[in-house]
Structure formats: structure tokens, C-alpha cells
A and B are shown apart, each in its own frame.
Chain A
């Protein structure tokens, strides 16, 4: 880790500006390729030691965002900076350094581990690649220490992924991601494939690791309740656009975007009496195809507040107050109606 990084510890780790990612897709072999805009004009900053939750449904671009930050897909527009330096996928050297600084944990714990490698080989692989000066014994010590941190005993080192449950595989995946002591951990739906009782273990582990290691995290999930548990700020995406960005408590207590409210209303209430009397009816319709997104505000086809302007003009992200941003033409009226009804 360089000196610059340490000095910037309180500052911005990652900065994403006006990022757009477009994929060319063919809908039939005779038809010309059309553009699928997976992300459009996404901007945010991630501070050192902060966890930013990224929520949205299928097609919202949350996984594309993770891939773009990790330089696994090339942005079609916009810029990503890491510790104040713009990132370009064209410099192999810069990319290598960067890779050591940011790591990812995937959704499918078993599929993301090579079945032919032992746990020791899996977790020490990043060390072999990025810290070639380490001796075999030093690598094994580092792996042992990291396994202990994620709650696995050193005895597992000689075993293979298939011998472990989903939760344990996810712990191995986390150990592999953290063994290089990265500054940023990108978690792409890290617990969605796990059983509820095990999910909670991994969430608690991530919380503890973040505290102990001062990690920054991007926590990508479709589950808002989980995101609330792990994040300091939350970014809500819909069809590749930022709908709302706010500090956690602000978002959960005073969501301004109708889509954020719809996501909150969709969370089942684990309380029979309250769940029955809940009057809100779920948001209508489904997420439109990203190949052919609605005009104007992309959410207007499902929004009860939509009016003429929403169908023709795309709202920009504007400041609600402090760090709270929302992209909605009618957020002021919505906020006024809410405070009246309360």
C-alpha cells in the first residue's frame, strides 16, 4: 500500500463520474445490433472505510457497475478514479496494482472456487501472483491467519471446495479476497445463494471485517433490509440510472423517490398483524427491457406519481439536502404529501 493511500485515509477512495456502459446486443441474426444501455451517467464517491450499498432489481446494472469498477468491462463514457488517479484499463502495470487494491466476492460461493485446488491453493493464489517474494511458509502463515479471521480453522487448508457447505465456501471466497489486504471489497450479492440461518453469519462476518480492517465496501444486493444492516450510504439503481443516493437513515426514513418507496414497501413484514393491515398495494408492472427503456423518467411506466413531463423529460439527479440526491421531477410534492399524511 503506498504512502499516498495512507494519507488519503479519510478522503475519497473511489470516484465514479458520469459512468455509462453500453453493450451491443443482437436480437436476431439478421437484425442489426442495437445498444443496451446497462449504466447511464452514474456518479458517486466512496470514502475510505465506508460501505456503500447498491440496490436494484434485475437489469438495474448493479453487477455491471461492479464489473466496470473492477475494470472487467470498459465504460463507454465517464471516468473512474482510484485515490485521485484516473483508471485506464490500457496500462497493464497500473491495472495490476489496482487489482491488488480491490477484490470481489461473488454470489455463487461454490462456482467461484476452482474445484481442483485445495483451500490453501485457492486462498494463497493472489499472494503467489502479487507477492512473489513471499516464501511458501510465509504464504501459508498469511493464509492461516486470514482463514482464522473468517472463522475457519487451519485444518481446512488441505481440503477441496466440494467438501464445504455454501456458507463455508463463501468464507473461503472472502478469505481469498482479503488475503492481499485490499482497500476495497466489492460484494456482488454475497449471501443470496445461502440459507437464511447462514446468511446472517456471513453478514455479521462482513460487518466485523469491515470494522477490524477499515475496509471500504460496495455491497450489491436486491435485499434492502440486508443493505440497511451493512451500509452507511445507499445507491438505488433502476434500469442503469441512479434514482436516489442517500445516507442510510435518511433513505430508510425519508425516501424521496417513488421507486425507493416501492422497494421498501415490497419487503415482507415478518409480523402477521402488521403484514395484514399494511394497506400499500405493491408497485404495478415489471421492469421494462433495458434494450428498449421508457422515454423520459425510466420509472414512469410503473409510477403512480407520473405525469406528462415524466414521460418526455428525463429528470437529473438533484440535491434534496446534504448528501441526499434524488432523480424525480415530483419529489417535492411527494415529500409534502407524505409529511401532511403523517
Chain B
């Protein structure tokens, strides 16, 4: 059986005055129906551009190549009119700042109804009733009243819930959430993560969670893809990634998160240096300058993402950490 979403050798480059700048540099990733995959990376990792390319919403100057197939249908390079039939109905996406995707001069009810009328052919009345159901489903208080409100009248957390409601309108097979909780207060972030957990239990929708916050995905994701400088450097089931990270970058990220149980006498395990703004043309591994495990060959020979024999996890590293348990 083929995957719900199959991404193959996807590349994204942005035009700059000094030539094309690579943002995504050959990503392969399959997402199964109903699965939750977290795509984790810092700024410049290309995690958002990857899915902006899949959704056909790259900003001007960005070019995508390679392949992204939804149920076998190619998405890349299709005209917007055709993509619009797929977007919303089969794949939906929500963004960090809901204000960029909500129309400021239309009420919340109107915006959700419009999706239902266009994609599902519902009558205005039926669409409004369904919109109300959707707002209740994402636990927006006083939902009937919210239908008549404009986006600016809602709080940040409420807007993000409204976005989720709109994304759910057509019961998509896949929801792509791009840093959905980053701009929110911690208690609201926890509420939204709980909502995602609840939706995953209640629907068969697959979820791609793009985030910089490894900690936030632990309780939600089935698998995690860690990106660095435009590539996936490690891919693993969530338990294994947290218990036995194999890429030094993954292990570094886990060590750098302050936890409520980190010993206080010790410093946090910071990764030296900075994440690169984009992939450089230099040969070798992009992480080599920050890596404590670098070998001579890492500077010249670019490691490829290699699947382990069990077919469950992959790492792109010449000197990965052993499978031993890491605290």
C-alpha cells in the first residue's frame, strides 16, 4: 500500500542576487494515513519551506522541484485551480499566525461556511449549522456568538482554534500545522496540544506538526523527523528518538531543552555555534562545525540519510551515537 503523502527528493531554492539559495535540499518522507509526524528543526532548517512547497504556497522567488504525491497524485507544479480542489478538501494547513490566514473583514462563521459551500456544496443554512458544530468541536466557548464575530475580536488562542475548525471543515485526510502554538501563552499552548491529541483519537486524520519545540511533540507524535540545514538528519519513532537519539544534533537538542528534572548544578548542554541560515555549498556534513563527534571524513564527505536494517529509523551521520540508552 502506498503512503498517504509521499515526498521524494524535494528541493526548494530561493532566488537571491547572488544566485539560488537552497532552503530544502533533497527530502524524502512518507506519511501514512492517520499517522502523526513531527518535523522538528531550528530556524533555517527548511522545515516550513518543505511543506509550503508541498502545499503550493511558497513565497515569490521560491522554486520547488522533486515530487510530493497525495494518494499517488502529484501536487508539485500543478496549477492553483487544480490545487485548490485538493487543498482544503484533502490537505489543510494552519499557520503560526492565524491572522495571516483569516480574512479580516469576514466573520468567523462566514469564513468557515464558505469552505463548506465551496468544497462540500452545502447550502448556506446547512453550512452555518455545520460551522457551529465545528466551533464547538474545537471547544470555542459561546460558539454561536463567535460565528458572528470578526477575527480581531477573538484572542490568539481562540483564533487558532477557529483555524483548526476551518481546517477540519472538509474532514481532510491530512492536516499540516506549522508552528501552531509558538505564538501562544503556555497554558493556551497546552490546551491546543490537548485538542490535537483529542482530534487524533477521534478522527483518522493524519497530522504533520512542524515545530522548533522537541518537548511539545513527545506526547503527540508517532514519528519525528529532525531537520538541519535543509535536510532530514534523523527519522525515528518518537519513543526511540527521545530514548536513543543517534544523530549528535538530535542528542544536542534534547540536552539543550531545560526540563523540570534537569540537575541544577550542571550547565545546560548547549550546542556550540549557530544553526546556519541555509545550506552552504561547502562539502561535508552541514553540522560538522558544531559537532563534538566529527571525524576527519565529516568535513569532506556528506553523509546520506540511511535507513537502519529494521526499516524503522534513519540517520545521516558518519559517527552516530550508539543505540545505548541516553538519559
Binding site for B on A (CB under 8 A): 57-58, 165-168, 195-201, 203-204, 207-208, 222-226, 228-229, 252, 262-273, 275-276, 278, 281-287
Residue B320 interfacial (CB < 8 Å): no
Q: CA separation between A203 and B258, bound complex, in Å? A: 10
Q: How far is the CB of A269 from chain B (nearest CB, A)?
A: 6
Q: In the complex, given contacts A269-B215, A282-B194, what are 6 additional A-B residue pairs having Cβ atoms less than 8 angstroms apart?
A: A58-B185, A167-B274, A228-B264, A229-B258, A252-B260, A275-B220
- Residues of B contacting A265 with CB < 8 Å? 190
- Can you name 13 A-B residue pairings with CB atoms under 8 Å? A57-B186, A195-B43, A197-B290, A198-B270, A198-B274, A200-B270, A201-B271, A204-B270, A222-B186, A229-B258, A272-B239, A275-B219, A286-B157
Complex interface: chain A residues within 8 A of B187 (CB):
57, 262-263, 266, 282-283, 286
Q: Interface residues of B, CB < 8 Å — how many?
A: 46
Measured between alpha carbons, how far is A201 from B258 in the docked complex, in Å?
12
- Select from chain B the residue with minimum beta-carbon distance to A259: B187
B212 touching A282, Cβ below 8 Å:
no
B157, B255, B264, B290: most-surrounded residue (chain A CB, <10 A): B264
Q: In whole angstroms, what is the CA distance A97 to B26 when docked?
A: 58
Q: Does any Cβ of A come within 8 Å of B124's Cβ?
A: no
Q: Which 7 A-B pairs have the closest CB atoms?
A: A275-B219, A200-B270, A282-B190, A266-B190, A270-B215, A57-B185, A200-B256
Choice from A167, A198, A225 contacting B258 with Cβ under 8 Å: A225
The interface residues of chain A lying within 8 Å CB-to-CB of B272 are 201
Interface residues of B (CB under 8 A from A): 42-43, 141, 155, 157-158, 185-191, 193-194, 212-216, 218-220, 238-239, 242, 252-260, 262, 264, 267-272, 274-275, 290
Q: Report the Cα distance A275→B238, complex, angstroms.
A: 11
Known interface pairs A204-B270, A278-B219. Does A264 touch B191 (Cβ–Cβ under 8 Å)? no
A271 touches B188 (CB 8 A): no
A272/B218 in contact, CB under 8 A:
yes
Which of A199, A204, A229, A286 gathers most chain B CB within 10 Å?
A286
Interface centre among A208, A266, A281, by most chain B C-beta atoms within 10 angstroms, is A266
Let me know if A222 and B185 touch, CB within 8 A. yes
What is the CB-to-nearest-CB distance from A206 to chain B, in angstroms, rounded to a whole number? 11
Chain B residues closer than 8 Å to A282, beta-carbon distance: 187, 190-191, 193-194
Contact (Cβ within 8 A) A268 B193: yes
